[in-house]
Structure 1
């Protein structure tokens, strides 16, 4: 994976001996640089939206220097995650270290990851468990890093999908039931995750401490070649996740919701847009008021994805060449909802409090565009895979439709959905 940094942010002198920099002079005579990074762009300021932690293998960090960094497990938009050895308990842990920018947002009360983790951690096995938290001073221009210590998990469902390309229905149901338990627990604690997706559903590790020891010996931690940055030459660590389990072993794993970096609290102000675009509920697309029921819509989309193997909705523009009608991303997404669910009109309860309702709908709740409604049943799409019995097609369609109610008031709560017949016999 590579990371490209916008050139309009970068004004710096050349760094010798590295190949990831391209200098040029813009129209006003200012020298600028394009920087391309193999992984997370180290050495760029936290104050400008960056600030990934610059950790070395063997670094000892945290209270009483109890955590020794062993390897990088992964990185994302706002953090990197590391395998560390906890000398306090003589076992491995994972440490998620936020960027300097994200840490600053947290200190200003703009993100509530720590508060969310503190609320959901405890007796429930299906939400990320926080063992400890601390602030690491960081290096160079990165700023400070909020660090969250958790157990070592085996990886995420996205990685498992990439490895196996298919989830048998019993495994898909197990993953989804555990995820739903996590959602219900989070909601009971006043937390809305808002970013449920394959990457943010983790599974437990079946590896012992001795297994991890052996992995570090057979596949030792590595670093990428030097790269130029505003802090000079830097070398990012190579992402080396733990080996994924077989499908048989995956049936033995526990699944849980992780990465509460976008979490919203029931008692805090809510941001306007949440959730990955294809998984957004109609009230989010329309910039309306929303609550925890957005997660039920997303969960219904995830059921379809796990079972069928592709997204239900496409968040993209569309042009009908016959009628010469073009729909933007939101209009086409809403149109798909109507087609898949067989809803001619959107409920006035949703449109009444949505800022974009007048952009896409008439006062009688009909679409402003003139495309005819084409019915593509969700049941038909599930059946088209030719993988399931008629009974499985019927029950899967019913739980998906139960989640995908256009009016959030008509969707079940997560706790109610746990009793759906689709989950009978699932552990």
Structure 2
């Protein structure tokens, strides 16, 4: 296990060794803040030398992910979304380029600026309070389903419908970004000893946490923001030999069966796991669900309603209906799971899809 406070820069995957004020893409972009990192990449805020008012997020893939299909896959999927007119609740791309550093090549994807994941709203919570209220989760589910309807219509599996891929919005205008950063300056980083005593410059992630949204914000506040379903490096076009490679304990059982048919219903399974996690602060499965015996799987399902009732996220009556929704998503046979469009019409989902006017919240 890596001891690095951020991405393990000494890993064989070859993360990008970035630092503040670093100039990349032949002088085009200057890195001014580290926004975050994941299993395949890190993300940086950058200013455009050709237009100081143009500030974007640049997703910089690790050297290994730049070599395999991950980076090209995300680029191609996002381009397909743009060509299909799908621009709402998904990352909007700009340029792409390759950056050479320390003898390694990194694929870079220019995106509009997004905020932290929805899980960031739980960062200040105690262990017993790690949950989102039901109204917030319903808003998340409605937004995600809206994207999945469009993806599935185009035979695209998102492949990683997990809480950390649901992102909050951020400022887009340069003056607003600069105002935010004046009150929350970027971290310049510090040296950290990796394997064999080599020093690495580690920069702390600082997402653009904006709009003042909090875990206990009212439903109208959640309704007034646009949530984005991000990370399309795991996405797949439905085919006979589709394989998924996201976090294994969120993947559906069919992903563990060699030669099994995998289609868009995989996203529905992952959505069920995501609903549970957002409401309880815990992951439903410890390991890949496909490895569970039928008896153990039934035990997991039986515990969902009591787990939900034990939280402060909802009433006991709500826990019954919410558990039913999760179980509908977790049907073992993919053909028994509802489509995204059908699930979007369920009363549980519709009751949470209010606008920001306030009237809907008081007159469901």
Query: TM-score, length-normalised on structure 1?
Result: 0.70
- Once the 2 structures are TM-superposed, how far is the Cα of residue 103 of structure 1 from its aligned partner? 0.7
> In the alignment, does 2:308 pair up with 1:336?
no
| Alignment partners' CA distance in 1, 2:160 and 2:313 | 29
1:342-382 alpha-carbon deviations (Å, 9 max, x no partner): xxxxxxxxxxxxxxxxxxxxxxxxxxxxxxxxxx2643443
For 1:169, the equivalent position in structure 2 comes to: 134
For 2:29, the equivalent position in structure 1 comes to: 67
1:26-425 pair list within 5 angstroms:
37-42=4-9, 49-62=12-25, 65-88=27-50, 90-106=53-69, 112-121=73-82, 122-136=85-99, 138-141=100-103, 143-164=104-125, 165-206=130-171, 208-218=173-183, 219-225=185-191, 227=193, 233-243=199-209, 245-247=212-214, 248=217, 250-267=222-239, 269-271=241-243, 274-287=245-258, 288-315=260-287, 331-332=291-292, 334-341=294-301, 376=302, 378-385=304-311, 387-389=313-315, 391-425=317-351
Q: When the two structures are aligned, how many residues end up with a matched partner?
A: 338
Distance 1:42 1:298, change over 3 A: closer
The 8 Å contact of residues 19 and 31 in structure 2, kept in 1 or not, is answered as: yes
The 8 Å contact of residues 74 and 239 in structure 1, kept in 2 or not, is answered as: yes
- Of 118-127 and 413-422, the range deviating more from structure 2: 118-127
Distance 1:80 1:58, change over 3 A: same
Query: TM-score, length-normalised on structure 2?
Result: 0.81
- Once the 2 structures are TM-superposed, how far is the Cα of residue 202 of structure 1 from its aligned partner? 0.8
| Alignment partners' CA distance in 2, 1:197 and 1:111 | 21
Distance 1:331 1:95, change over 3 A: closer
| Alignment partners' CA distance in 2, 1:134 and 1:230 | 32
- Once the 2 structures are TM-superposed, how far is the Cα of residue 96 of structure 1 from its aligned partner? 0.3
- Once the 2 structures are TM-superposed, how far is the Cα of residue 294 of structure 1 from its aligned partner? 1.1
- Once the 2 structures are TM-superposed, how far is the Cα of residue 334 of structure 1 from its aligned partner? 4.4
| Alignment partners' CA distance in 1, 2:108 and 2:119 | 24
User: Which structure's relative contact order is higher, taking Cα pairs within 8 Å and 6+ residues apart?
Assistant: 2
- Once the 2 structures are TM-superposed, how far is the Cα of residue 128 of structure 1 from its aligned partner? 2.0
| Alignment partners' CA distance in 2, 1:253 and 1:68 | 29
The 8 Å contact of residues 40 and 52 in structure 1, kept in 2 or not, is answered as: yes
Residue ranges of structure 1 left out of the alignment (5+ in a row): 5-35, 317-328, 342-375
| Alignment partners' CA distance in 2, 1:65 and 1:333 | 56
- Once the 2 structures are TM-superposed, how far is the Cα of residue 312 of structure 1 from its aligned partner? 2.8
| Alignment partners' CA distance in 1, 2:47 and 2:322 | 43
Higher-Rg structure is: 1
1:135-164 alpha-carbon deviations (Å, 9 max, x no partner): 22x2113x1111111111111122222235
- SS of equivalent to 1:144: strand
The 8 Å contact of residues 165 and 230 in structure 2, kept in 1 or not, is answered as: yes
- RMSD value, Cα: 3.0
Residue ranges of structure 2 left out of the alignment (5+ in a row): 355-364
- Once the 2 structures are TM-superposed, how far is the Cα of residue 100 of structure 1 from its aligned partner? 1.3
Distance 1:237 1:191, change over 3 A: same
- Once the 2 structures are TM-superposed, how far is the Cα of residue 94 of structure 1 from its aligned partner? 0.5
1:232-272 alpha-carbon deviations (Å, 9 max, x no partner): 6541322222236332355532112111122222248423x
- SS of equivalent to 1:57: coil
The 8 Å contact of residues 128 and 258 in structure 1, kept in 2 or not, is answered as: yes
- Once the 2 structures are TM-superposed, how far is the Cα of residue 185 of structure 1 from its aligned partner? 2.0
The 8 Å contact of residues 200 and 258 in structure 1, kept in 2 or not, is answered as: yes
